[in-house]
Chains A and B, each alone.
Chain A
Amino acid sequence: MKRFADLAGQGGLVESLQQAIKSHRVAHAYLVSGEAGSGKKTLALAFAQALLCQEQTATVCGVCSNCRRIEQGTHPDVAVIEPQGGRIRIDEIRTLKDRFALQAYGGSWKVGIIIDAETMTDAAANSLLKLLEEPFGQAVLILLSSSPSKLLPTIVSRCQVVKMQRLSRTQIAAYLEEEEEIPAETALVVAGLADGRLGRAMEVASPKSLAWRERVLAVLAHEDGRGLEALRLAAELDDEPEAIEFAFEVMGSWFRDMLLAATGCPQELIVNQDYFAFLSKEGKLYNEHAYHSAIYQIEDTLRAIRANANRRLALDTLLYLLSDLTSFLKASENHKYGKSSRS
């Protein structure tokens, strides 16, 4: 995640930033907006690298000591500030000011990156405002936010606003394949789950996330009802609640895929490509209504869990139902279409 090339699909954006560097028109402050996981931090770090790269070609060589130090988070001219306990407080902004009072170590740019800028306290935001009004030397501030409307309008008006683009699935997949050396098939699945957000794709591509996906699909992608398996998964998720959102995404994607397969849509729309054979065979067994109700069930349960419902109970119920739903639907559909049920 350290090169402008990484920002495949942010082409126009990257180009305009590179152009700014080349033509010496770098703004004092940028506000990068985009959903969580859309690659804001990647863009900010890559921009910092492009500014400071010793090759000085407005790109990122990735090997010079500046590029490496920025990647490691130890470059003296690049300060990254993020919320501590949910907020960015004034002390963080003061530290930034202290660092900006000195001329750049490397002799060119100083970069301050503020992650989740909307979490700044009023005091922090007002202190930052002073820095935006009276910039110290050759310095760039990059504010990142997924909800820029929560920022002080006076701050926003002093920043050049940059909006992250959604990437196409093939762009993300290609990047994962080339840069992260992820097998083509997995890359395509991950890209589908990431829904246009490169940062999200990187999270999904982690071995841990991929393992969770396997666990979820082990329950869903089987011809037999797997009630016991389902309850075991519910227990595991209850122990590791931070995995719940992702597990639900996988479940959702699975029934969407079944729905798509049922309607006979082209293969490239399927997220879980690696199960395509299964999906195209099994998906046609049930009617659309069944999949819709499964998807609603998943969404409702997630909402309930977010609203502090009894988590374990909700997970048990949903997963058992989904695993059972499969056999239930199968039985009823078989009956409907007069096919023999499999034992």
Chain B
Amino acid sequence: MAVIMHVDMDSFFASVEQRDRPELRGKPVIVGGQRESKRGVVSTCSYEARKYGVHSAMPIAQAVRLCPHGIFIPGDHRKYEEVSRSIRKIIHEFSPVVESISIDEAFLDMTGCEHLYHSLEHMGQSIKRRIYDAVALTASVGIGPNKFIAKLASDFHKPDGLTIIAPEEVEDWLAPMAVDKIWGIGEKTAKVLASWQIRTIADLRRWPQEFLTQRLGKQGESLYLLARGIDNRAVEPETEAKSMGKETTFAEDVTDIGKLRQTLANLVAIVGIRLRQKDLWARTISIKLRYGDFTTISRSLSLPEPINSDDGIFQVAEALLRENLEDLPVRLIGIYVSQLTAFGQGSLFTDPRKETLTELMDELNTRYDRPVISKGRQLALPKAPHKGKEPT
């Protein structure tokens, strides 16, 4: 039988802030934006804030109404990344098969490793302690026979919880739970189910598979199995993303090369920041072009050493554009990076000041969750007559 462990950091961003600023401890801390922010949403809030009904993904303005005396913080993603990295390192010491779902959550396949501990309890406590010792933050841990149960278990006692569900306990443990605890059941599906008087997992179990499949399709099939505590999804170790990319379709076909370059620069900036946030480097850069007549080409170039700077990526992408643009007008342009590696070879001849500048730009752009700083090439220039071809 498989042994799966789910580790979930407790109100991660807020806890990091409370750890570093003792004056925030015991107070409702809401990370995501300034109090005045009109567009921001809550990314995490402390347990103190949850008592007021604040939860993540809620608009900041609403959180202010619910919790007027809350402490609103924009958040320092670079710091959270750093902490997350340290936690990931520890998690990797426990199992070679780790699936990171987000900055503060991971599944570990502990099958076979459980014998190294006196008990599952001991195993769960060990990882909690190692994490606390290293970063002074608490995690909630769930252990079960599959990912579904492990995740539900980690959520069962929060914060600082440890819940272990043995295979034979699964059915009884699940029975009274609300159906919307099941991963993938949103408000909409929950309403549909409620219309059939299905509110708990026990209710769900009473319906035959055919009924669920007929009405809910593929989801119905998985609901049938999950209601019985069956989940065959494997823990997928960090098969780091194989590629990333971004493309855009123009509202009107573009005939100006200058405009294409500028769009490309913007796309590069988006992909570049994503790469750097994940600490990845890319060896292959590709561009995709779709012309007015819908013919589509993509062209790529592989480099001797991986890169992740906007400048480096743009240089390659621009050369690809320049050497492969066959025709105008262009309808869609895209940039892709692949052959991703988790290391970046340093260069003897780059200016270290440039790297610092990139880091600073990334930080600002991440903090405000939109580009606040950009490079000259990303800006629309006054229409330059020498950019396109003259009519002949």
* In contact, B322 and A121 (Cβ under 8 angstroms): no
Q: How many residues of B contact A (CB 8 A)?
A: 14
* In contact, A153 and B385 (Cβ under 8 angstroms): yes
A123 and chain B: residue at smallest CB distance = B323
Is A122 part of the contact surface with B, judged by Cβ < 8 Å? yes
Knowing A147-B392, A149-B392, A150-B392, the reply to whether A123 touches B324 (Cβ < 8 A) is yes
* In contact, A127 and B392 (Cβ under 8 angstroms): no
Provide the bound-state CA to CA distance between A149 and B387, in Å.
Answer: 15
Chain A residues with CB below 8 A from B319, complex form: 130
Interface string of B269-293 (1 = CB under 8 A from A): 0000000000000000000000000
Chain B residues with CB below 8 A from A157, complex form: 386
Smallest CB–CB gap between B293 and chain A, Å?
Answer: 15
Is B242 part of the contact surface with A, judged by Cβ < 8 Å? no
Smallest CB–CB gap between A118 and chain B, Å?
Answer: 9
Chain B residues with CB below 8 A from A127, complex form: 322-323
Chain B residues with CB below 8 A from A129, complex form: 322
Provide the bound-state CA to CA distance between A157 and B386, in Å.
Answer: 9
Provide the bound-state CA to CA distance between A129 and B323, in Å.
Answer: 10
Pick the contact of A123 from B322, B387, B390 — CB < 8 Å? B322
Pick the contact of B325 from A123, A147, A149 — CB < 8 Å? A123
* In contact, B392 and A122 (Cβ under 8 angstroms): no
* In contact, B389 and A90 (Cβ under 8 angstroms): no
Interface string of B296-320 (1 = CB under 8 A from A): 0000000000000000000000010
Pick the contact of A122 from B325, B385, B386, B390 — CB < 8 Å? B325
* In contact, A130 and B322 (Cβ under 8 angstroms): yes
Provide the bound-state CA to CA distance between A300 and B319, in Å.
Answer: 49
For window 3-54 of A, CB contacts with B under 8 Å fall at none
Pick the contact of B389 from A123, A130, A152 — CB < 8 Å? A152
Q: How many residues of A contact B (CB 8 A)?
A: 15
A90, A123, A127, A130: residue with the most chain B Cβ atoms closer than 10 Å: A123
Chain A residues with CB below 8 A from B389, complex form: 122, 152-153
Provide the bound-state CA to CA distance between A126 and B387, in Å.
Answer: 11
Is B36 part of the contact surface with A, judged by Cβ < 8 Å? no
For window 83-140 of A, CB contacts with B under 8 Å fall at 90, 121-123, 126-127, 129-130
Smallest CB–CB gap between A246 and chain B, Å?
Answer: 27
* In contact, B390 and A149 (Cβ under 8 angstroms): yes
Provide the bound-state CA to CA distance between A152 and B386, in Å.
Answer: 8
Pick the contact of B386 from A90, A123, A149, A154 — CB < 8 Å? A154
B321 and chain A: residue at smallest CB distance = A126
Knowing A147-B392, A153-B390, the reply to whether A126 touches B322 (Cβ < 8 A) is yes
Smallest CB–CB gap between A112 and chain B, Å?
Answer: 18
Chain B residues with CB below 8 A from A152, complex form: 389
Chain B residues with CB below 8 A from A149, complex form: 390, 392
Smallest CB–CB gap between A89 and chain B, Å?
Answer: 10
B324 and chain A: residue at smallest CB distance = A123
Chain A residues with CB below 8 A from B327, complex form: 122
Provide the bound-state CA to CA distance between A147 and B323, in Å.
Answer: 23
B325 and chain A: residue at smallest CB distance = A122
Chain A residues with CB below 8 A from B325, complex form: 122-123, 126
* In contact, A123 and B385 (Cβ under 8 angstroms): no
Is B326 part of the contact surface with A, judged by Cβ < 8 Å? yes
* In contact, A121 and B390 (Cβ under 8 angstroms): no
Provide the bound-state CA to CA distance between A122 and B387, in Å.
Answer: 12
B319, B323, B326, B392: residue with the most chain A Cβ atoms closer than 10 Å: B323
Chain A residues with CB below 8 A from B390, complex form: 149, 153
Chain B residues with CB below 8 A from A153, complex form: 385-386, 389-390
Smallest CB–CB gap between A33 and chain B, Å?
Answer: 14
Knowing A153-B385, A154-B386, A157-B386, the reply to whether A121 touches B392 (Cβ < 8 A) is no
Smallest CB–CB gap between B315 and chain A, Å?
Answer: 11
Provide the bound-state CA to CA distance between A127 and B390, in Å.
Answer: 18
* In contact, B392 and A123 (Cβ under 8 angstroms): no
Provide the bound-state CA to CA distance between A121 and B387, in Å.
Answer: 16
Interface string of B237-259 (1 = CB under 8 A from A): 00000000000000000000000
Smallest CB–CB gap between A158 and chain B, Å?
Answer: 10
Provide the bound-state CA to CA distance between A147 and B392, in Å.
Answer: 9
Interface string of A152-188 (1 = CB under 8 A from B): 1110010000000000000000000000000000000
Provide the bound-state CA to CA distance between A126 and B319, in Å.
Answer: 9
* In contact, B392 and A126 (Cβ under 8 angstroms): no
Chain A residues with CB below 8 A from B323, complex form: 90, 123, 126-127
Chain B residues with CB below 8 A from A90, complex form: 323
* In contact, B326 and A121 (Cβ under 8 angstroms): yes
Smallest CB–CB gap between B112 and chain A, Å?
Answer: 55
B392 and chain A: residue at smallest CB distance = A150
Chain B residues with CB below 8 A from A154, complex form: 386-387
Pick the contact of B326 from A122, A130, A150 — CB < 8 Å? A122
Provide the bound-state CA to CA distance between A272 and B324, in Å.
Answer: 51
A129 and chain B: residue at smallest CB distance = B322
Smallest CB–CB gap between A94 and chain B, Å?
Answer: 9
B319, B387, B390: residue with the most chain A Cβ atoms closer than 10 Å: B390
Provide the bound-state CA to CA distance between A127 and B323, in Å.
Answer: 6
Chain A residues with CB below 8 A from B385, complex form: 153
Smallest CB–CB gap between A107 and chain B, Å?
Answer: 30
Smallest CB–CB gap between A145 and chain B, Å?
Answer: 12
Smallest CB–CB gap between B391 and chain A, Å?
Answer: 9
- The 4 A-B pairs at the shortest CB distance, nearest first, are namely A126-B322, A150-B392, A154-B386, A153-B386
Can you report 9 A-B residue pairs in the complex whose CB atoms are below 8 A from each other?
A122-B389, A123-B322, A123-B323, A126-B323, A129-B322, A130-B319, A147-B392, A150-B392, A153-B385
Q: Give residues in A with beta carbon < 8 Å to B.
A: 90, 121-123, 126-127, 129-130, 147, 149-150, 152-154, 157
Q: Give residues in B with beta carbon < 8 Å to A.
A: 319, 322-328, 385-387, 389-390, 392
For the A-B complex with A121-B326, A152-B389, A153-B386 known, give 18 more contacts whose Cβ atoms are closer than 8 Å: A90-B323, A122-B325, A122-B327, A123-B323, A123-B324, A123-B325, A123-B326, A126-B322, A126-B325, A127-B322, A129-B322, A130-B319, A130-B322, A150-B392, A153-B389, A153-B390, A154-B386, A154-B387
